[in-house]
Structures are given as C-alpha cells and as structure tokens.
Structure 1
Amino acid sequence: MNIKDKVVLITGGTHGIGAVTALQLANEGAVVSLVARNVHDTDIVSQIEAIGGKCIIVQADLSNPDDCARAVQETVEKLGGIDVLVHSAGSAAPGSLLNGAKEVWYQAFDIHIHAAFHLCTNAVPFMKNRGEGAIILISSAAGLRGVKGALAYAVVKGALPQFTRALAYEVSDANIRVNCVSPGVIRTRFQDYLTPEQVKNNVSNRIPLQREGKPEDVAEAICMLIKNEFITGENVVIDGGMTMRIV
C-alpha cells in the first residue's frame, strides 16, 4: 500500500509508540487521525504540522463502544474515509489472580480486546468501500509468556494475535490485511514505573541485544506491515530477542 494520502486512524496516538508512528506516517504523506482520551497533554499535532502533514485529533474513551464508533465516524467525516487502523491504545493492568481488582480485569478487556473489536467493526465497511485496507493491532511480548503480577495484561495481549489471525482470514476476500506487532521492553512513559534496578535487570539479564527498544523500532515495523501488500495474519515480535531466550 502506498501510504501517501492514505487516511490512518491511530488510537493512543498522542504519546509513545502511537505518536512516533503517527509522525513517521505523516512524514511519508499519510493523513492522520489521532484518537486518545487525553487530547491536551501532547505536542504531536504541532510536530506533524511542522513537517507539512495533515492531522486531526479525536477525544474518545475507547472502553465505550459508542466512542469507538464515533472515533471512526468522525475520522471519515473530517478526512473523507479510512484506509488504515492502528490500535495502539492500552493501559497497564497490574494484579494477580487472588490479589487483583476485578475492575482491572474487565478494563483490560475493554481497552485492548473489546475496543479492537468495535473499532474494526466500524472501520472495515469503509475499507471495503475503498477496495483495500490495513489493520495493525499492538500486542506485547507479555502476551507470549506468563507475566507475574500482570495476569490480565498478559491474557488480553495474548488474545490480540489470535484475533489478528481470525480477522485476517475473515476479511481477506475484501483485500484487507490484518497484522499484529508485539513489542518487548520499549522506552516510553509506559515504562516510567520501573526502578533503575529493574531497567538494569531487563537489559542485562532478559534482552540478548543488551538494550531497551525505542518507539521508532516499533513504528518502523508498523509502517512496513502497512506497506507490504502480501503480509497478513502475522504477529511481528520486536523485543531484542527477549522471548527467544531459554535462560
């Protein structure tokens, strides 16, 4: 898919991986719709405009199905359609089976899984009208392995690659591709809760490449999956080798 002039909706697009992806796509000529709960604490719009890109921002609570539908509809109304959906919004979900709030469990499903379902349900018909489309879901290396103290997060992130495969097969006859990326430890504000000791442990003992990833590393993979027209139903792991290690 040629990205130039394509309309790309990015959830969680005001910070971290979503914002860096938005900037890279805008730099390649895409028109970007950023969807976020907090639309004020960000400078990504001015960054995109500074490189001559076009961008709108939509406030939405993606745990609300109606807001998911409105985010797609507002994007279509203001930008004329939708070609690409990148669901990057997410939140931490700490807690174990016996020591975790039920609300955290349900919220994790609302933000990661249910939002993906509702966004795709609303976006796919517009992609069908275009004759092509691309959907990228952001999972996590945590979904590939057990994660102590983050049961809900690991479960919902593990579900996203399977949702990707099932949906990719379902919409393939409409020339819509669906792929997933699973980042490992990426240096964003999502990692700000880590202590210096935990960061050192990640780098020294868990990541074979001996460094944390950057949002740009993930954004490059997302852009590749959007542009490559013969990849669908795949989960690309971007973790510096963390999940391949045995010890």
Structure 2
Amino acid sequence: MLLKDKVAIVTGASRGIGKAIALLFSKEGAKISAVARTEEDLKKLKSEIEASGGECLIFKGDVSKEDDVKKVVQETVDKFGRIDILVNNAGFGIYKPVVELTAEEFDSMVAVNFRGVFLFTKYVLPYMMKQNSGVIINISSIAGTLGVKNMAVYSATKWAVNGFTESIMHEVREYNIRVASLCPGSVDTNFSNVAGSNPPSRDKVLKPEDVAQTALLIATLPERAMLSHLILRPTNPR
C-alpha cells in the first residue's frame, strides 16, 4: 500500500478524474477527504471506499468559496490529524468563441479553475510546512500549454494554474513539499471534450484511471525526487 496512513484531499472527487484518484489513493491506503458539489455522487464514492475498508470524509461545497475551503481543511485535520496530499482537480470548461462568452461564464471558470486552486493551496500549505512534507498535484490540462479555438478562457485558467504551480513549487520546496501540474490531453469523462469535425475516438483517449495512475506516480516518488510538470497524452487517439 503505497500511501498507507497518508491523508489526501481531492477536489472534484464525485466523478471522472477526481473519483478515479480518490478510489486509487484509498486502495493504496490513503484516508480521503472528498470535495464536490453533488452530494449524491459523494455519498456513492464514500460507500465504495468504505466497502473496501477505506476511510472517507465527504464535503458538499464550492472550491471557490473561502469558507467552504477552510471548513474542509480544518475538519480534515480535526479528523485525521494531518494533510499529506492535496489534489486540486475541480474544474470545468465552457466552449464558445470569446464574442459569445458572457462575463458571468468567464467569472465562473476563473473562480473554480483557478481561485479554487489558490484557496486550497493557501489553507493546506501551513500544515504541510509544519510537517516539513507534502505533495500538491494540480490537475491542469494540455490546453494550459497551448491555445485552443473556442477555449480561450478555459485555456487561460489552465495556463494560470501552471504558472501558479511553478511559482509555488519554488516557494515551498525548502519544506520538502513537492508541487506538480499534471496536464492530461483528451480524457473519456463527462467533462466536455473539444468539439470538432474529427473528434478523438472514445476508446483510444485517456481514461480517468490513467490520470489517477499518473497522479499516484507523482505522489509516491522518493521524497528527494519531484515531477513538477507533466503532460499526459493519448498514445494514438485516432
């Protein structure tokens, strides 16, 4: 069990990549605090984890709201005594040309995709710094490394996450805290993939479990080693 007795907070944990990470990390021994907006799906996740002998706290909340974030962090520490891993996974995209995108849609993507990463990082780091150890994995996107038509704002939020990750890595590595951005390409989830005339084949794109395995690799490297930025692509998506 590669994560025995570790404590992990996973945001956007009720489905897709976040759920796959929560399940795999629990299987490897981690105690999970799962955060998402859909309580019913969170309860299903909790049941799956506990049926396999794991421990799971669930939190229905909004990662962009400071009080919700503070509650998750404090109750995780109160229950488990520490925080070893933070997976900032919550995010979503609205695919439209910029001229059609509303200011409210802009604000909502920035709030969830970037502000949420900032808030959880801000409130988790003091515990990791006190422990002199920890891993933060920010699930970004390949869209955070290149521009994509009709994804300007989503792409911009993921560029922001990558820049934030790189800067935080330099701030906290002296505390033996490792900070990484994981940038998947097309993943077979409920999250909207890029529409196009020749979309990738669903049976060839990445699966949530592939991203979870990569996150596990990042989290379980020897403490002296760190992956700070990783792009994960389908081998042959067509």
How does the TM-score come out when normalised to structure 2?
A: 0.91
For 1:213 and 1:225, locate their aligned partners in 2 and report how far apart those are by CA, in whole Å: 17
> C-alpha deviations, 1:52-96, integer Å up to 9, x for none?
111110111112122122221121112222111001111122333
Q: CA deviation at 1:231?
A: 4.0
Identity score, percent: 35
Q: 1:25-104 to 2 correspondence within 5 Å?
A: 25-42=25-42, 43-104=44-105
Give the gaps of 5 or more residues in structure 1.
205-209, 243-247
CA RMSD of aligned residues (A): 2.3
Q: Closer, same or farther in 2 for the Cα pair 1:241/1:165, shift >3 Å?
A: farther
For 1:109 and 1:124, locate their aligned partners in 2 and report how far apart those are by CA, in whole Å: 21
Q: CA deviation at 1:30?
A: 0.5
For 1:232 and 1:121, locate their aligned partners in 2 and report how far apart those are by CA, in whole Å: 20
1:237 aligns with 2:231: yes
For 2:58 and 2:15, locate their aligned partners in 1 and report how far apart those are by CA, in whole Å: 12
Contact 1:144 1:158 in 2 (8 A): yes
Q: CA deviation at 1:241?
A: 5.2
1:224 aligns with 2:224: no
For 2:211 and 2:64, locate their aligned partners in 1 and report how far apart those are by CA, in whole Å: 24
For 2:89 and 2:122, locate their aligned partners in 1 and report how far apart those are by CA, in whole Å: 17
Give the gaps of 5 or more residues in structure 2.
none
For 1:96 and 1:68, locate their aligned partners in 2 and report how far apart those are by CA, in whole Å: 32
3-state SS of 1:201 partner: coil
3-state SS of 2:9 partner: strand
Residue of structure 2 equivalent to 1:13: 13
For 1:76 and 1:33, locate their aligned partners in 2 and report how far apart those are by CA, in whole Å: 10
2:59 aligned partner, one-letter code: V
How does the TM-score come out when normalised to structure 1?
A: 0.88
2:128 aligned partner, one-letter code: M
Q: CA deviation at 1:163?
A: 1.0
Q: Closer, same or farther in 2 for the Cα pair 1:231/1:179, shift >3 Å?
A: farther
For 1:143 and 1:93, locate their aligned partners in 2 and report how far apart those are by CA, in whole Å: 15
> C-alpha deviations, 1:20-73, integer Å up to 9, x for none?
111111111110000111121342111111211111101111121221222211
